[in-house]
Amino acid sequence: MEMNQPAGPNAIDENRHGMIGWPMDRVDGRLKVTGQAPYAYEVKEAARPAYGYLVEASIARGRISAIDSGAAERAPGVLLVMTHRNAPKQAAFGPIDMKDRFARAKPHLNDTRIEHYGEPVAFVVAESFEQARAAAGLVRVSYAADKGEYELKLNLAKAEKPKGGGGKEPDTQVGDFEGAFAAAPVKLDARYTTPFHIAAPMEPHASVAWWEGDRVVIHCASQLLESAQKCVANTLQIPPEKVRIVSRYVGGGFGNKLPIYGDTILAALASRELKRPVKCALTRQQMFHVTTHRSDTVQRLRIGATREGVITAIGHEAWSHSARFDNFYETSAECTRSLYAGANRMTRHRSVALDLPVSDSTRAPGEAVGMLALEGAMDELAHQLQIDPIALRMRNEPKLDPEQNVPYSTRQLVACMEDGARRFGWNRRQARPGQVREGRWLIGIGMSAAIRGNLLQPAKCKLQLGGDGVLTARMSMTDIGTGSYTVFTQIAAEMMGLPPDKVRMLLGDSDFPETSGSGGSWGAASSGSAVYLACEQLRAKLAQSAGIDPAQAVFAEGKITGGGKTATLAGLAGAAGVEAEGEIKPGEMDKKFSQNGFGANFAEVAVDTESGEIRLRRMLGVFAAGRILNAKLARSQAIGGMIWGVGSALHEEAVVDPRYGHFVNHDLAEYHVPVHADVPAIDAIFLPEVDDKTNPLKIKGVGELGISGAGAAIANAVFNACGVRIRDYPLTLDKVLAGLASRA
């Protein structure tokens, strides 16, 4: 099925059995908390594996001039030391313009060139992890270093218009932005910066690989199995069908596990050489350089408005970096294209090539950092105009998408703001900063809007109903901790009238029907629609077998009834069982309608006037994201995203040493993320919504909406508390103290 027209009434709408929306516990929860759900490093399907350990480059740009692996090769338990001298030849990196950038060839140890700090320069394999790690420390590498460039802010003059790597067009222009901005009675021109962010998933990247004849089997931590399969095949120069990728459980991804890395490629190569399984896990410190991160950004917001607060010109320019050999860029300005009205508009992205590890999608790419700037600028404009921030946003509510000039599929931003304001007590906010004090603490309230684009991707599902009445679904879809196993079980159980314990979800294997995996908040909509469509086909087959008109068929309690007839599903399946397949493809609806999730964030903070400390006291998010499949999981996703927003506002900042091009704080002891003490009362509410323009389930992506704009609500609350406007994230104590001193 292609999504070319709105979805009509269906069994999901009827929800006869109450499965849709039910806050059902995770079906894989017990396996996880009892340690029975094997993550990649814990897989025991192969024979006793050897263990690999990466040796990283200690320069950021240059080449290897000499390498001495002799001591490592003689170390106890060592089986192989792979370097550029003996590594099997692989395809060159790329091609750079490949549509699926995660399927590009990614060679390792192919030559002596060093492109970034931490790039693997050797791979030591031994009988135990400890032996491999100890021997890795014995590898001696000499380098001829070249001068590198590592700082975005110092190289903005070298920025270029990106070529691919972001999805949509990097620049847009509607009307005469420059002329309208120059003529506007009220102007805001603000520069915001955000730092490097690290995804830091709980589960480190890990792989175990072995060969079955000329076919490699790899268990790894991957969000996108088809892309991983093609990447390995393209790198090793073998057919894709000779690669099987398995990723049944993933301990967090956040975009960091969209690509695959040296642990996967080198484990596969070493396993082929040694003719035994090879296992490799990256250390937490290695992950900061071997895997991807979010680029830092520089953003300029220019908004022109009437004195009544009607926007007449809005411009958002964003600069980010890409690795010198890559083309990805952070799409920070895309959120500005659809959020607010304004006749004259401009968005522009520019990219600077630097000698740093690859930057790529990280936790709501684009919106997560773009809205830190946009929503901060809207708060600044509201203060400048002396208009309530919610009222300002309402005055600029568009009737059509202001750049695509098409209707919104649904848009409940105003409803989210109104509901949130009522719940949070927005009417108690003092418009003038610094008016509420509790001893040495100043108290403030802030808000922001939220928007996150909605996507539908191709996906397939295969169902099999057995004679025992158990329904089994197979998809290459992954579960990155978001609840895929659970929501798909609910969809199938509702459609087929089966209890959840009669549904089996088999996910995370590239041998299963292909999907687009988990990423971009498209997983539930895409793969869930495939499950739904496969159930539709199965219902039709069973109705035909039972001699019942499919339009009259009712599925409940493991039976089908209609037209005075009743049959059990198990009896209809028989010993041979019955199968059905479903497939979803994006169609014209995403062109005919602007599809987004919306929300509003509210935060209350306290600022210590003596130390500059910021304490979040409470936070609320109100969201509209289509039909909610599981109320508990959706709330958990939204709260998790909001906590990321807390981190973006107050904590997270990876720091590059400008002399050597490496992340100085490359572990979770020094790369700070929010902990329980940082996150007090926090809640998320979803407004009722059904969006028939998006997919047959009428749902939207939830996972990344929560982070979008959340950090800006905190920054705006800080300003309301103490009058200090910080445009350079994160909001650290020194910046608060400097602002307080300047105000004094």
pLDDT value, residue 605? 98
Question: What tens digit of pLDDT does each residue of 395-439 get?
Answer: 999 999 999 999 999 999 999 999 999 999 999 999 999 999 999
CA 462 to chain centre: 26
Spot the catalytic one: 115, 226, 689, 704: 704
Name the pLDDT band for 45 (thresholds 50, 70, 90): confident
What CATH fold (topology level) applies to the domain 366-455+592-743? Aldehyde Oxidoreductase; domain 4 (3.30.365)
In the numeric block, which tokens belong to residue 216?
């490699």
d(CA 18, CA 675): 36
| 395 burial via Cβ count (<10 Å: 0-12, 13-18, 19+) | middle
Question: How far, in whole angstroms, is CA 202 from its chain's centroid?
Answer: 14
Q: What is the pLDDT of residues 582-610, one digit of tens each?
A: 999 999 999 999 999 999 999 999 999 99
Question: pLDDT by residue (tens digit) across 335-378?
Answer: 999 999 999 999 999 999 999 999 999 999 999 999 999 999 99
Rg for the chain, CA atoms, rounded:
27
Q: In Å, what is the CA distance from 454 to each residue of 280, 395, 519, 743?
A: 35, 24, 11, 42
Q: How far is CA 131 from CA 52, 123, 138, 625, in A?
A: 9, 13, 11, 50
Residue 405 CB neighbour total at 10 angstroms: 9
Beta-sheet pairing, 243-246 with 215-220: parallel
Predicted confidence band at 47 (pLDDT cuts at 50, 70, 90)?
confident
In degrees and rounded to multiples of 5, residue 420 shows phi and psi of -65, -40
Strand 554-556 and strand 559-562: pairing? antiparallel
Is residue 682 pLDDT above 80, yes or no?
A: yes
- In the chain, the N- to C-terminal Cα span, in Å, equals 64
User: What's the Cα-to-Cα distance from 80 to each of 106, 557, 626, rounded to whole Å?
Assistant: 21, 58, 53
Angle in degrees, CA 388, 625, 344, rounded to 5: 50
Report in angstroms the alpha-carbon separations of 24 from 28, 32, 412, 619, 726.
11, 16, 26, 25, 42
Please answer whether residues 240 and 230 qualify as being in contact, where contact means their C-beta atoms are separated by less than 8 angstroms: yes
Q: Do domains 40-147+199-290 and 366-455+592-743 have the same CATH topology?
A: yes
Residue 264 CA to residue 206 CA, distance in Å, equals 7
Q: Are 351 and 96 in contact (CB under 8 A)?
A: no
pLDDT in tens, 519-578: 999 999 999 999 999 999 999 999 999 999 999 999 999 999 999 999 999 999 999 999
Q: How far is CA 489 from the centre of its chain?
A: 23
Q: What residues does 141 pair with on adjacent strands?
A: 67
- Sequence-distant (6+) residues with CB within 8 A of 361 are 255, 258, 292, 328, 519, 520
Angular region, 222: left φ>0, alpha ψ -120 to 50, beta rest:
beta
Per-residue pLDDT of 270-321, as tens digits, reads 999 999 999 999 999 999 999 999 999 999 999 999 999 999 999 999 999 9
pLDDT score at 188: 98
What whole-number distance in Å separates Cα of residue 743 and Cα of residue 738? 9
pLDDT of res. 740: 97
> Comparing C-alpha atoms, which of 602, 599, 591 is closest to residue 689?
599
- 355: closest CA among 126, 102, 149, 90? 149
Give the pLDDT of residue 195. 98
Considering the chain, what percentage of its residues have pLDDT values greater than 90?
98
* Token reading at 126: 């031994």
Q: Is the peptide bond before 95 cis (omega within 30 degrees of 0)?
A: yes
Domain segments of the chain as ranges: 2-37+457-586, 40-147+199-290, 366-455+592-743
Most distant CA atoms of the chain, gap in Å: 83
Is 704 one of the catalytic residues?
yes
Pick the CATH number of 40-147+199-290 from 3.40.605.10, 3.40.50.300, 3.30.365.10, 3.40.50.880: 3.30.365.10
Closest among 483, 491, 479 to 529, alpha carbons compared: 491
Does domain 2-37+457-586 fall into CATH 3.30.365.10?
yes
CA distance 614 to 222: 37
Q: What confidence category does residue 166 fall into, taking pLDDT thresholds of 50, 70 and 90?
A: confident
> CB–CB of 308/395 below 8 Å?
yes
DSSP 8-state class, residue 729: S
**Are the C-beta atoms of residues 183 and 208 closer than 8 Å to each other?**
no
Token duo for residue 410: 């649904």
- C-alpha dist (Å) from residue 28 to 319, 510, 513, 578, 596: 41, 20, 21, 26, 30
The set of residues, in sequence order, having a beta carbon less than 8 Å from that of 11 and lying 6+ positions away, is: 494, 495, 539, 555
Q: For residues 294 and 365, is the Cβ–Cβ distance under 8 A?
A: yes
**pTM as predicted:** 0.97
Structure tokens at 725: 């406007």
Residue 23 pLDDT: 98
pLDDT band at 154 (very low <50, low <70, confident <90, very high): very high
Percent of the chain at pLDDT > 70 equals: 100
Q: What pLDDT, in 10s, does the model give residues 621-641?
A: 999 999 999 999 999 999 999
Mean pLDDT of 691-715: 98
- State the alpha helices, DSSP H only, in 64-128: 70-73
Measured between alpha carbons, how far is 408 from 405 in angstroms, rounded to an integer? 9
Pairing mode, if any, of strands 596-608 and 50-56?
unpaired
Residue 129's SS3 state is helix
221-266: per-residue pLDDT in tens? Answer: 999 999 999 999 999 999 999 999 999 999 999 999 999 999 999 9
Q: Is the pLDDT of residue 167 over 80?
A: no
